[in-house]
């Protein structure tokens, strides 16, 4: 059944499903909110984001402090994305926030992970790995300007790392202040063991 609204089908572009929320990789139940409040002290609300089609957490301390001011809720509520769920390019859900694993082209060791919102790519991470060396490189991470500072980049990094668990990972230092500021938050060495199989 299609989602109909006045003025045409719902797209999310007109805010039918609310503003974009911060995203964090799903995992153990959260202990603190994005502002650092301990959730066990005054509670949290488990909800769902129709915009992302993901489960969310809303900090009760933040909610009460902000008194319902939507402009202040940027860090009060966040969505949880399971980075282990990565769809092949031919079977991507058309709605919500999803990860897509694009395999390397024939003859290449470099693949990519895309973060798509309602079918549009909002961020990309590329990785190069070698099963023989059990080494991998996070080559590049890019998030569209309109979707930055929401955790999309860190989610892409986590999604990339689960592609090669137990590998020795590294990531080069990028150019530019924005890319360097992001890279400074990624806990990977600048260089790793050289792969002797590349180029063969």
Average pLDDT for the chain = 85
Taking residues 108-123, report their average pLDDT: 93
pTM, two decimal places: 0.84
Query: Cα 44 to the chain's mean position, in Å?
Result: 22
CB distance 197 to 132 below 8 Å: yes
Q: Which residue has the tokens 């301990």?
A: 38
The per-residue pLDDT for 2 is 39
Instruction: Count the helix, strand and coil residues of the chain and give each as a percent rounded to the nearest 5.
Output: 20, 30, 50
The per-residue pLDDT for 189 is 72
CB distance 17 to 10 below 8 Å: yes
How far, in Å, CA of 95 to CA of 50, rounded?
A: 10
Q: Is the pLDDT of residue 147 over 90?
A: yes
How far, in Å, CA of 50 to CA of 16, rounded?
A: 9
The per-residue pLDDT for 9 is 41
Taking residues 160-177, report their average pLDDT: 89
How far, in Å, CA of 94 to CA of 125, rounded?
A: 20
Q: Is the pLDDT of residue 5 over 50?
A: no
SS3 128: strand
Q: Which residue has the tokens 């992302």?
A: 52
SS3 9: strand
Split at pLDDT 50, 70, 90, the class of 194 is: low
What DSSP designation does 15 have?
S
The per-residue pLDDT for 10 is 44
Split at pLDDT 50, 70, 90, the class of 185 is: confident
φ, ψ of residue 134 to 5 degrees: the values are 55, 45
How far, in Å, CA of 120 to CA of 66, rounded?
A: 32
DSSP character string of 62-110: HHHHHTT-GGGTTTTEEEEE-TT-EE-GGG--SSSEEEEEEPPPTT--E
């Amino acid at each position: 059944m299609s989602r109909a609204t006045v003025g045409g089908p719902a797209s999310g572009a007109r805010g039918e499903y609310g503003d974009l929320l911060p995203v964090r990789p799903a995992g153990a139940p959260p202990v603190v909110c994005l502002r650092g409040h301990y959730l066990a002290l005054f509670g949290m609300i488990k909800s769902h984001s129709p915009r992302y089609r993901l489960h969310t957490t809303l900090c009760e301390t933040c909610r009460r402090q902000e008194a319902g001011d939507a402009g202040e809720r940027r860090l009060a509520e966040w969505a949880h994305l399971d980075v282990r769920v990565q769809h092949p390019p031919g079977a991507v859900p058309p709605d919500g926030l999803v990860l897509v694993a694009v395999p390397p082209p024939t003859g290449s060791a470099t693949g990519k992970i895309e973060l798509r919102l309602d079918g549009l790519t909002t961020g990309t991470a590329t990785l190069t790995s070698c099963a023989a060396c059990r080494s991998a490189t996070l080559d590049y991470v890019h998030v569209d300007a309109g979707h930055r500072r929401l955790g999309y980049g860190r989610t892409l990094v986590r999604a990339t790392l689960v592609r090669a668990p137990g590998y020795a990972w590294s990531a080069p230092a990028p150019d530019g202040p924005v890319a360097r500021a992001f890279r400074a938050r990624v806990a990977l060495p600048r260089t790793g063991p050289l792969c002797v199989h590349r180029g063969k």
